[in-house]
Structure 1
Amino acid sequence: MGLAVFGVSNADFAGDGGTIRHRNRSGLGENLRQQLQHPLLRALLYLLVIAAIVLGNSAYQGGNLTGASLGAEAIWGDTAWRLALTEHSKLNPWALLLGAIAAAILWQGRYQLIERWLIGLVLLMSLAFISSMLLTQPAWSAMLRGLFVPQLPEGATLTVIALVGTTVVPYSLFLHAASAARKWQTTDKAQALAESAADLRTAIPLGGLITLAIVSTAATAFFGKGLTLSNAGELALSLEPLFGASARYLMALGLLAAGLSSALTAPLAAAYALQGLLALNPQQFRLTWLLVMLIGITVSSLGLKPLSVIWFAQVANGILLPVITLCLLVAVNAKALGRYRNNRRQNLLGFSVLAITLLLSSRTLYLALS
């Protein structure tokens, strides 16, 4: 619940900036470039964005495709063609196939097509994960009590921060602002803001519900019983003897949809971030997301674990999130926005979010560096 409120606030500010400046196709990257005129500050921000979003998303893309592959394997099992390809090439064929599908969707370059794919995958993921939660029958009273009176188990701080870091990520702000700038190019500003807000108030709470469904399913089926898992694919396979075949296929389908949807957004967000900051042309934009995609396919198909790169990206994201939040607050209070500037209530919420990002980032950096 807290993650959903936090995510709505930050994404709402990003969407406002992209929507109101839509006639200039101005996303978050463009706004940051306009705000920071000092060469040193601009260079530092650019390096931070490249480290956190471009390099980070390249590493995360491998995880996205690996997660989707685990879901596919749990659904279709060890088919003859997969075993043959793996034996001869020593590569993960599902990562190659799913990476190629994601690249083909992005290659079309049509916003409406990409949006339809993402909506379909998110709906499929939601149905699968929420149905899995209902099948496993978690302790509803304990869950509700935890929502309103949260408790942090001993030694779980890093896990909680990881959940926050994977739910509220800086790259999603770049993606949302750029998408808003393109979706509402010709719409009246007031109508565009209303539609953008409605989108957020549906999508982000749904994301929080999906996170709740995954965590509660794992807690009910395994961790509450003292069992351990080495990856998410084992979660799907191990549900079958406990709750039947339908639970296995639902969880696997959710993993497949989640991985494939993230495999679309991670390269796209990296390209949008660089395009906004460096004013990339369409060919350079396509080359950016294609490079992130290829790195992800390589990492996943070879079974690599770029832990050093992921650690570095986590540190950079820890620094970047409060910086981006502060820049968003400045952007949505600019005089150029006129009557669409933030009001006092929105600014109070915004500075509360900024304080939370500073606390989370400080804790993340402390844990990462120690």
Structure 2
Amino acid sequence: MRFLHNKPDSKVQGSARPAHSWAADFGPGLVTTASDNDPSGLATYTLAGAWYGFDMLWVCVLTYPSTVALQLIASRVAAITGRGLTVNMREHYSPLFFYFAVWRFLLANTFNIAVDVLAMGIALRVFCGGSLAWLTFASGGASLALQWCIPYARYARVLKWLTLAMFAYVGVILVVDVPWQAIAIRSFVPRVVWDEGYMTMLIAVLGTTVSPYLLFAQAEQEARDAEEGAARRNALNSKMSLVRRNTLLRTALSNAVSICVMIAAAATLHLLPGTFAGETSPMAGVLEPLAHGYARHVLALALFGSASLALPPLAGSAAEAVASSIHWERGERRDRRIAGLLAAIMAAGMAIATALAASHVEPAKALYWSAVVNGMTVTPVLVLLVLLSSKRGAVGDLSAHWSLRALSWLAVIATACVVISHAVLRLG
């Protein structure tokens, strides 16, 4: 689980609305507990455990060094240049490759927003009943209103407590019979099956573990700090030391929660039929050994809390990426435009979410396929990022350490191989 990077609430001046400041300055740089383990991630890890038992634990363990390295590289590039990833990529790479990466990132974020809004509607329905379509639309509208009218840090102080429901997965592990020896083996010894279903799930798990939008978000935060003078060359080493420590801890906590979800699902649901039966099954079934008849309610709290905290950085990073690709200069006018983009992206996500609810799409499937889309889009972004970290035109003689680049290239190769293997199996 990853905790908030809080900044002073506002640089709002005059009559500017809080959303203007949040969208352009605050939100894209936040990395929250929920943004790493949002409903899409919870569904993916649950299904991974239910379908494949402990066989995919190694993904969360062995990708940890590469995930940390990618975040550190994104932070370093932004700290040195004082600009986010999108601006740097636009200036140093072919427009065709750049726009392909950015727009795939935008589409993935929009779909992720849609399924998270759908998850909020499902959570509300558990407590109050009613039409899922209307509850989904209302949830998205409420999220947008909060983003527009209230600084994120203020309402996150309240909503973040809902994500404590995620620790119920730890409780499940403590009350059920868990084969710790098998878990230890599967956590460090990869087991790869040459099967289309397995490769699709592997893409999904990678998509939630190495999330593209987290890299954009972290870079934007560092770029903002650099503008305020925090990233001058004579202070870069001490600054990056703090970033390194925070990233190591946040990523470890985030991956630990992911592992707990997968273990709990494997211990309770593996090989059981009816994986997609019902709106919150099998996700609620994982929690039944601990919460019994209240499992659906505990899950609903986790879904609502994680979605409400993940939506702002999802929409904010997407809006910032689009703004940076259109050559908008920084300033109050740009902030207002980004606020408009954020609202448009949220509106698109709400429309897709409402359509999914009205068409009775199985929510677990929608959440899972959002993770698949993220996994499919991550490779082009990672390639541009790692190349940028050693490009003298961008970072001068302060290129990232070879060990960070090596770990990052390992992530690039791994994600590319999985996507290519999936394509080969699908076509074959």
Same fold (TM over 0.5): yes
- Separation in structure 1 between the aligned mates of residue 371 and residue 167 of structure 2, nearest angstrom: 31
- Separation in structure 2 between the aligned mates of residue 111 and residue 337 of structure 1, nearest angstrom: 32
2:164 to 110, 119, 124: 124
- Separation in structure 2 between the aligned mates of residue 143 and residue 15 of structure 1, nearest angstrom: 33
The aligned residue for residue 178 of structure 2 is 138
Shift in CA distance, 251/270, structure 1 to aligned 2, threshold 3 Å: same
Is 1:186 the equivalent of 2:229? yes
Is 1:9 the equivalent of 2:52? no
Is 1:331 the equivalent of 2:383? no
1:347 aligned partner, one-letter code: R
Is 1:350 the equivalent of 2:350? no
The aligned residue for residue 345 of structure 2 is 292
The aligned residue for residue 200 of structure 1 is 247
Deviations 1:81-103 (A, max 9, x none): x43xx2xxx7331x234323322
Deviations 1:124-150 (A, max 9, x none): 364344334434453322211210223
Is 1:27 the equivalent of 2:84? yes
The aligned residue for residue 266 of structure 1 is 314
The TM-score with structure 1 as length reference comes to: 0.80
Task: Check the 8 A contact 1:68/1:256 in 2, yes or no.
Answer: yes
Task: Check the 8 A contact 2:75/2:222 in 1, yes or no.
Answer: yes
1:101 aligned partner, one-letter code: A
* Greater per-residue helix proportion: 1
Deviations 1:321-356 (A, max 9, x none): 333223222322243635632223233323323322
1:151 to 191, 196, 204: 191
Task: Check the 8 A contact 2:162/2:301 in 1, yes or no.
Answer: no
Residue 49 (structure 1) shift: 1.6
Task: Check the 8 A contact 2:199/2:422 in 1, yes or no.
Answer: no
Residue 316 (structure 1) shift: 8.8
231-240 or 286-295, which moves further after superposition? 231-240
Task: Check the 8 A contact 1:315/1:364 in 2, yes or no.
Answer: no
Is 1:283 the equivalent of 2:326? no
Residue 295 (structure 1) shift: 1.7
1:70 aligned partner, one-letter code: I
- Separation in structure 2 between the aligned mates of residue 61 and residue 328 of structure 1, nearest angstrom: 24
Task: Check the 8 A contact 1:170/1:321 in 2, yes or no.
Answer: yes
> SS of the counterpart of 2:178?
coil
Is 1:66 the equivalent of 2:113? no
Task: Check the 8 A contact 1:267/1:289 in 2, yes or no.
Answer: yes
- Separation in structure 1 between the aligned mates of residue 219 and residue 212 of structure 2, nearest angstrom: 11
> SS of the counterpart of 2:319?
helix
> SS of the counterpart of 1:17?
helix
- Separation in structure 1 between the aligned mates of residue 168 and residue 320 of structure 2, nearest angstrom: 30
Deviations 1:180-212 (A, max 9, x none): 222453324223212222221122222222222
The TM-score with structure 2 as length reference comes to: 0.70
Residue 122 (structure 1) shift: 8.9
- Separation in structure 1 between the aligned mates of residue 156 and residue 68 of structure 2, nearest angstrom: 19
Residue 242 (structure 1) shift: 4.2
Shift in CA distance, 58/321, structure 1 to aligned 2, threshold 3 Å: closer
Task: Check the 8 A contact 1:180/1:196 in 2, yes or no.
Answer: no
1:99 aligned partner, one-letter code: G
1:298 aligned partner, one-letter code: A
> SS of the counterpart of 1:293?
helix
How many residue pairs match? The answer is 348
1:353 aligned partner, one-letter code: A
Residue 358 (structure 1) shift: 2.5
11-20 or 296-305, which moves further after superposition? 296-305
Query: What are structure 1's unaligned runs of at least 5 residues?
Result: none
- Separation in structure 2 between the aligned mates of residue 114 and residue 42 of structure 1, nearest angstrom: 39
**Identical residues among aligned pairs (%):** 18
Shift in CA distance, 138/327, structure 1 to aligned 2, threshold 3 Å: same
130-139 or 260-269, which moves further after superposition? 130-139
Task: Check the 8 A contact 2:163/2:306 in 1, yes or no.
Answer: no
